[in-house]
Structure 1
Amino acid sequence: MTEPNVRTGGCLCGAVRFSVPLDALHFSACHCAMCRRWGGGPMLAVDATAPVTWQGEDAIGRYRSSERAERCFCKHCGTSLFYYSIKKGQTVLNLGAFDDQDDFTMESQIFIDEKPPGYSFANETPTLTAADVYALYAADPS
């Protein structure tokens, strides 16, 4: 069995740092209106399948953006750090917060039906609509 890749990252000012072991170096693009408003474009998101180790947790701000999720950021510099799924207890890290992004590959795109026409990714990836994403959450027994 191979060891997971331990990756590090943090915010612009350095007040928040993290490390996380990842089984795979994949990211997804979320085109939902909230992610686009939060980060100025689609969120390039890395699902943290293992617990994240944080330094500077007191500098993490949380905004409850819906009944399902929190958007988390550095209170000092405003860097968008992660999305937290309340229902699943899942942390989804912003790809841009990682120190080294070279080996990551795009795996999928979600909320593709909310993507504005002004941009497209060249990658051929599976795509899910908002209805597809909500159906996945509804089917999840946790």
Structure 2
Amino acid sequence: MTSMTGGCACGRVRFEAEVDSDEAYLCHCRMCQRASGSVSLAMIGIARDAVRWGREPDWYASSPIARRPFCASCGTSLGFAFNDSDQMDLTVAAFDEPARFRPIANYCSDSINRAFLDASRLPEKPVGEIDSVTSRWASAGLPTP
């Protein structure tokens, strides 16, 4: 088991999780799509008691059977939890080291937006080559993230 940290974009909500696997999945359900504003949500399954919140997240009752942790200050989606389960899911991107995880499955595949499923053949443009981004960071006196 490995202790891993993560949190929201603004840093208000932080967590430490005891992670025992590098296996993640992509959820394509319409609830995850709408909750995240994305075509899918990369998640890992974890026991609720394996997650310690430095500051308790805000929770959104996304349906009568589940709720979602998030940060009300910056809007970061942090996961998903059925109301009646001792398991939950954390978003891969919320971890400080998300590259540790690898996707092994597509869940709720009937809602997959196939045009975005495999972007590996699309041209790549590093952030340093996107002038509209780098110039704004430079004007703010900050390095490009």
**Shorter chain as normaliser: what TM range?**
0.7 to 0.9
Deviation at 1:104, TM superposition (A): 1.0
Percent of residue pairs identical = 34
1:74-99 CA deviation, whole Å, 9 max, x = no partner? Answer: 12111111111112132200111000
What is the CA-CA distance between 1:122 and the residue it aligns to? 7.4
- Distance in 2 (CA, whole Å) between partners of 1:121 and 1:38 is 22
Which structure 2 segments of 5+ residues have no match? Answer: 121-145
1:75 is matched with which residue? 72
1:54-82 residue CA offsets vs partner (Å, 9 max, x unmatched): 1111xx22111112210210121111111
Worse-superposed segment, 72-81 or 83-92: 83-92
Greater gyration radius: 2
Aligned to 1:97: 94
Bigger shift: 85-94 or 22-31?
85-94
Q: Give the Cα separation in 1 of the matches to 2:113 and 2:97.
A: 29
- Structure 2 counterpart of 1:52: 51
Q: How many residue pairs end up in the alignment?
A: 118
Q: Distance in 1 between matches of 2:5 and 2:73?
A: 19
Correspondent of 1:12 among 9, 13, 20: 9
1:32 to 29, 38, 51: 29
The residue type equivalent to 1:52 in the other structure is V
Amino acid at match of 1:53: R
> 1:65 matched to which residue of 2?
62
Which amino acid counterpart does residue 54 of structure 1 have in structure 2?
W
Unaligned segments of structure 1, at least 5 residues: 124-142
| Residues 116-139 of structure 1: per-residue CA shift (max 9 Å, x gap) | 23221479xxxxxxxxxxxxxxxx
Q: Which residue of 2 aligns with 1:113?
A: 110
What amino acid maps onto 1:66 in structure 2?
Answer: S
Task: Tell me which residue corresponds to 2:142.
Answer: none
Match of 1:43 in 2: 41
TM-score by length of 1: 0.77
> In the TM superposition, what is the alpha-carbon distance from 1:112 to its structure 2 partner?
0.3
Q: Which runs of 4+ in 1 moved over 2 A?
A: none
AA paired with 2:55? G
Q: Distance in 2 between matches of 1:8 and 1:104?
A: 13
TM-score, normalization: structure 2?
0.75
- Contact map agreement 2:19 2:50 (CA 8 A) in 1: no
